[in-house]
Amino acid sequence: MSAPPDAVVAGEPIGVAVIGAGYWGPNLVRNFQASDAFRLRWLCDLDVSRAQRVLGHYSTVQATADLAAVLADEAVRAVAIATPAGTHLEVALAALRAGKHVLVEKPLAATYEEGLQLVEEADRRGLTLMCDHTYCYTPAVIRIRELLRSGELGELQYLDAVRINLGLVQRDIDVIWDLAPHDLSILDFVLPEGVKAVAVAAHGADPIGAGRSCIGYLTLKLSSGAIAHVHVNWLSPIKVRTTIIGGSKRTLVWDDLNPTQRIAIFDRGVDVATPGELGAEERREMLISYRSGDMVAPALSEREALRTMVEEFASSIHTGRPPLTDGRAGLRVLDILNATKVSLANGGTFVPLEGAA
């Protein structure tokens, strides 16, 4: 029988296994190996030779195709899952039932209902369930979260995100499921306390006959009355990764492809006088003025997001607090993605979100 979750002792490395040696698994292997908080014990993949190639000189780590053997190892207290989304429910449930803390590559699961099963299972067992929303741990996004939540930008008025590039057209999912999870997880991460998405409308187009949307536009209504918009595209000849966040005090522009100035904050915008500030003859009309102030570019540390994410996973396991991108954060993203399917099928109508109630 597996040891209880509280068997993880503060200060001691946490035994961890990575499940999946494909595209993302090697990145997890490298970061767990580099972390003093973890001791990587296994790399599990159906193709053992691939796992062995990934491990290379990591001679202390075992390669296997036997998931049951990994989960039976009492020295393994946590697992990181980097397998196809359709397998996340089966693999993560098995790990949770074996008493392991679980980190899951995005998306949390293939459907909202499957994601809910994982969240409820982790809650019942008192285990950490974390979603690997890697972008949330970049220095730029962490700073954006601080600026929005501190009120430095003022009240959020709008968020506009563009994530476009040429290819790769996926065979099993549309462009929304492929690219939008990045921006939806960022939106969920940076929103001020008490503000959440309540409905989404989706529009898609397939001009090349791929059989699925290659261009997508999402519009989200937020509980505060603000609006968020996400544009994703597989067919753009140029690559763009830009987000504009408009606040009542300042506007922030994040260009993830500009390493010298990822974030710029503009003290420029529109000010509207309240009726109490107007003279007697002006009370019937709102007074609009335009503000044109300075632009500042905050200095950001250069640190790999995955390293920060791994540290957050360890901290959550040791302290028992939910990680910043916990299972419920992953569930909220799935909620939006599932609602986009309904919206697309209904001609782009707004669809209320499960978590909006």
Q: What is the mean pLDDT of residues 102-128?
A: 96
Helix (H/G/I), strand (E/B), else coil: 318: helix
- Mean pLDDT across 313-319: 97
Question: What is residue 274's predicted lDDT score, i.e. its pLDDT?
Answer: 64
Q: What dihedral do alpha carbons 73, 77, 82, 86 form, nearest 10°?
A: 80
Examine the pLDDT at 172 and tell me if it is beyond 50.
Answer: yes
Please report, as a single letter, which amino acid is at residue 187. L
State the pLDDT at residue 165. Answer: 97
Better-predicted residue by pLDDT, 173 or 226? 226
Q: Please list, in sequence order, all residues whose beta carbon lies within 8 angstroms of the beta carbon of residue 260, skipping any fewer than 6 positions away.
A: none
Q: Which alpha helices (DSSP H) does the chain contain, by range?
A: 25-34, 48-55, 67-72, 88-97, 112-125, 139-150, 175-190, 305-319, 327-345
297, pLDDT greater than 60: yes
Q: For residue 228, what pLDDT is reported?
A: 98
Contact 337, 355 (CB under 8 A): no
Query: Which of 224, 223, 221 shows the shortest CA–CA distance to 154?
Result: 224
- Indicate if the pLDDT at residue 280 is higher than 70: no
Rg over alpha carbons for the chain, rounded to the nearest Å, is 22
pLDDT at 168: 84
Amino acid at 127: L
- pTM beyond 0.85, yes or no: yes
- What whole-number percentage of the chain has pLDDT above 70? 90
Q: How far apart are CA 306 and CA 30, in angstroms?
A: 10
- 293: pLDDT confidence band, cut at 50, 70 and 90? confident
Mean pLDDT across 38-57: 94
**What is the secondary structure of 89-114 as a DSSP string?**
HHHHHHHHHTT-EEEEESSSSSSHHH
Residue 6 pLDDT > 50, yes or no?
no
Residue 19, both tokens: 């499940």
Q: Which of 335, 354, 78 is nearest to 185 (CA)?
A: 335
pLDDT in tens, 139-148: 999 999 999 9
Class of domain 5-127: alpha beta
pLDDT, one tens digit per residue, over 317-341 is: 999 999 999 999 999 999 999 999 9
What was the pLDDT predicted at 58?
72
Higher-pLDDT residue of 116 and 272 is 116
Spatial separation of the C-alpha atoms in residues 216 and 226, rounded to whole Å: 20
Q: Can you tell me the distance from the alpha carbon of 196 to that of 192, in angstroms, rounded to the nearest whole number?
A: 8
Beta-bridge partners for 162: 231, 242
Distance CA 357, CA 353 (A): 8
CA atoms within 13 A on the CB side of 90: 8
Q: What mean pLDDT is reported for the chain?
A: 91
CATH superfamily of domain region 136-303+335-356: Dihydrodipicolinate Reductase; domain 2 (3.30.360.10)
- Segments making up each domain of the chain, as ranges: 5-127, 136-303+335-356
| Pairing label, strands 156-166, 235-247 | antiparallel
**What would the mean pLDDT of 345-354 be, rounded to a whole number?**
96
